[in-house]
Chain A
Amino acid sequence: MSNTKNGKGVIGWIDYRLPIFSTLQHTLVDYPTPKNLNYWWNFGSLAGIFLMIQIVTGIVLAMHYTPSVEGAFASIEHIMRDVNYGWLIRYIHMNGASFFFIVVYIHIFRGLYYGSYKSPREVLWWLGLIILLLMMATAFMGYVLPWGQMSFWGATVITNLFSAVPVVGTAVVEWLWGGFAVDNALLNRFFALHYLFPFLIVGVVILHIVALHTHGSNNPLGIDRKGPQDSIPFHPYYTIKDLFGLSFVLTIFAAVVFYAPDFLGHPDNYIPADPLKTPAHIVPEWYFLPFYAILRAVPDKLGGVIAMISAILILFALPWLDTSKVRSATFRPIYKKFFWLLFIDVIILTWVGGSPAEGHFILIGQLATIYYFAHFIILMPIIGIIETPRPLPNSISESVLNKPIKG
């Protein structure tokens, strides 16, 4: 079907020489997709859309932004006040970053729940984690650009993490700064890299999709497809479903952008950066809070940095830490409980990360950090061995016809 359709006329001529049309046809139209995907599978394409929103609004903002310590803050206010629809575009970009992370975090938790990282999708999972790391770097550098108080002190604190590296730490930090403190040189290079990284993300996203289409999507039952009766073409079934889901999420997004645009931000970032005055509480954006909590949970400087980095790196080993042969948590009674425990644990880490590092928050943060690592290193291997999974259905279509399983 895919080749005959594009075989004529100009399109066919081009496609014969450069098969972009048949590739698109295969990717967005014919791609055989499990027929039983639930709404949690909407979040992958949603993440792609938010990446596009960020790139488009970001390019627009770059047309009006000035990357210098004297001009940055004022140029943001110029965008907010003078540029036509500047406030709208900037608020979309600001909140778009948050929504991008919400969507991606849900996408990751979906992968954790349904075992989407298991063979043969390990590389797909890795590529996803690389996207997450690139996103974090991009978001961090982007937050520095308005050159408000949180921008400045967030940049100072996070770049200082590198000074924890033994021997070369100080040299590395000065190299990052291009000086002896967070200043103009850093702002300029962050702007350049903030513009570059999204396109790296696009590249990895393409690889992510190639890897996805090699073995096809996982599904809520976590069983392999037995034949064509288990699949339906991506278009129109999932295009319309994704479009509906997108429209729904955009409605929530619009509510935030238009009615609470600064809700997710921090008031201190409307104060211009002042190298002489640190704000009372320095908090990163909400999407970094769980990692920030892990950083602070370890009383040692180097140890904290290692713990924070490990929190993501450990996910790369997940396909081997999980010893269960069953993918979907639907059939794993014990793992399912611990999955939700992990979810709650991450919420707690978020809460602790946003609270001042004092009193009982320190202890809660440390316990939550311990659980986070124990979940992956200890619980997942053990649960896989001791757990007796519930019987798996024979095939997707059988399960769909009989509807015996409750999620």
Chain B
Amino acid sequence: MKNNPTDEKKTRRDFIHITSGVTVATGLVAAGWPLIDQMNPSADVLALATVEVDLEPLQPGQSISVLWRGKPLFIRYRTDEEISKAEDIDVNSLKDPQLDKDRAQNSKYLVMIGVCTHLGCVPLGQEGEYGGWFCPCHGSHYDTSGRIRKGPAPTNLEIPPYVFLDETTIKIG
């Protein structure tokens, strides 16, 4: 076919067909994107992706759970005892070493996502061998800083992105 005498004509014809083919393919891809993107979080869901929480009513030793992005969020006003337990520890001995000050911006308030890093159950508060959280599903024990100490969970309880807007108000997300 390469030695065809009408080579030049062929190239021109091919050019038109290639243009058509590329155009149709482009059109299909462009039309496909909205069909994929529609499954991404919608505007109303994104609007709830940041929540503001007022910590004023919390007393030492009290916890609240807030729903954030469909997951429970544990916010605990820790007692001095809990704080010292969380700080006085050799982090290198931990499964997932992390300093308590890296986990709590203000050491009084511990804010974390209440989902066990093992298989997604919600741990129970102030339970387990370390006085922190205990996951009833497969027996993971977390300490008062939410770090994994014993059990199958691979990592510490996750800390969401948050900032203190003032002394007692935080914005999560």
Which residues of A are interface residues toward B (Cβ below 8 A)? 56-57, 60, 63-64, 78, 81-86, 88-89, 243
Contact of B38 among A81, A83, A243 (CB under 8 A): A83
Within 8 Å CB of A56, what residues of B? 35
* Inter-chain contact B38/A63, CB cutoff 8 Å: yes
Distance in Å from the Cβ of A86 to the closest Cβ of chain B? 6
Q: A78-B44, A243-B24 are in contact. Are A84 and B34 (CB under 8 A)?
A: yes
* Inter-chain contact A63/B42, CB cutoff 8 Å: no
Supply 26 A–B pairs (Cβ within 8 Å), ascending by A: A56-B35, A57-B35, A60-B35, A60-B38, A63-B38, A64-B38, A64-B42, A81-B43, A82-B42, A83-B38, A83-B43, A84-B34, A84-B37, A84-B38, A84-B40, A84-B42, A84-B43, A85-B37, A85-B38, A86-B38, A86-B42, A88-B34, A89-B34, A89-B35, A89-B38, A243-B24
B40-82 to A contact mask, C-beta < 8 Å, 1/0: 1011110000000000000000000000000000000000000
Which residues of B are interface residues toward A (Cβ below 8 A)? 24, 34-35, 37-40, 42-45
- Bound together, the chains give a CA A81 to CA B38 distance in angstroms of 12
Within 8 Å CB of B43, what residues of A? 81-84
Within 8 Å CB of A89, what residues of B? 34-35, 38
Q: Which residue of A lies closest to B47 (CB)?
A: A82
Within 8 Å CB of A86, what residues of B? 38, 42
Distance in Å from the Cβ of B38 to the closest Cβ of chain A? 5
- Bound together, the chains give a CA A88 to CA B37 distance in angstroms of 12
Distance in Å from the Cβ of A257 to the closest Cβ of chain B? 12
Within 8 Å CB of A85, what residues of B? 34-35, 37-38
What's the A-B contact tally at a CB cutoff of 8 Å? Answer: 35
The 8 closest A-B pairs by CB, nearest first: A85-B34, A82-B43, A82-B42, A82-B44, A84-B37, A83-B42, A84-B38, A85-B38
Q: Which residue of A lies closest to B34 (CB)?
A: A85
| Chain A at the B interface: SS class | helix
Within 8 Å CB of B34, what residues of A? 84-85, 88-89
Q: A78-B44, A84-B38 are in contact. List 6 more A-B contacts (CB 8 A).
A: A78-B42, A82-B44, A84-B37, A85-B34, A85-B37, A89-B38
- Bound together, the chains give a CA A84 to CA B35 distance in angstroms of 9
Within 8 Å CB of B39, what residues of A? 63
Distance in Å from the Cβ of A350 to the closest Cβ of chain B? 31
Distance in Å from the Cβ of A8 to the closest Cβ of chain B? 21
Distance in Å from the Cβ of A50 to the closest Cβ of chain B? 14
Within 8 Å CB of A78, what residues of B? 42, 44
Distance in Å from the Cβ of A99 to the closest Cβ of chain B? 15
Q: Which residue of A lies closest to B37 (CB)?
A: A84
- Bound together, the chains give a CA A60 to CA B37 distance in angstroms of 11
Within 8 Å CB of B40, what residues of A? 84
- Bound together, the chains give a CA A56 to CA B43 distance in angstroms of 22
Q: Which residue of A lies closest to B24 (CB)?
A: A243
- Bound together, the chains give a CA A84 to CA B34 distance in angstroms of 7
Q: Which residue of B lies closest to A83 (CB)?
A: B42
Distance in Å from the Cβ of B18 to the closest Cβ of chain A? 14
Distance in Å from the Cβ of B68 to the closest Cβ of chain A? 19
Distance in Å from the Cβ of B22 to the closest Cβ of chain A? 14
Distance in Å from the Cβ of B70 to the closest Cβ of chain A? 16
Q: Which residue of A lies closest to B41 (CB)?
A: A84
Q: Which residue of B lies closest to A86 (CB)?
A: B38
Distance in Å from the Cβ of B29 to the closest Cβ of chain A? 14
Distance in Å from the Cβ of B148 to the closest Cβ of chain A? 36
- Bound together, the chains give a CA A351 to CA B45 distance in angstroms of 45
Within 8 Å CB of B37, what residues of A? 84-85
Distance in Å from the Cβ of B144 to the closest Cβ of chain A? 40
Distance in Å from the Cβ of B21 to the closest Cβ of chain A? 10
Q: Which residue of A lies closest to B44 (CB)?
A: A82
Distance in Å from the Cβ of A393 to the closest Cβ of chain B? 32
Within 8 Å CB of B44, what residues of A? 78, 82
- Bound together, the chains give a CA A60 to CA B34 distance in angstroms of 10
Within 8 Å CB of A60, what residues of B? 35, 38
- Bound together, the chains give a CA A141 to CA B45 distance in angstroms of 29
Q: Which residue of A lies closest to B40 (CB)?
A: A84
Distance in Å from the Cβ of A4 to the closest Cβ of chain B? 20
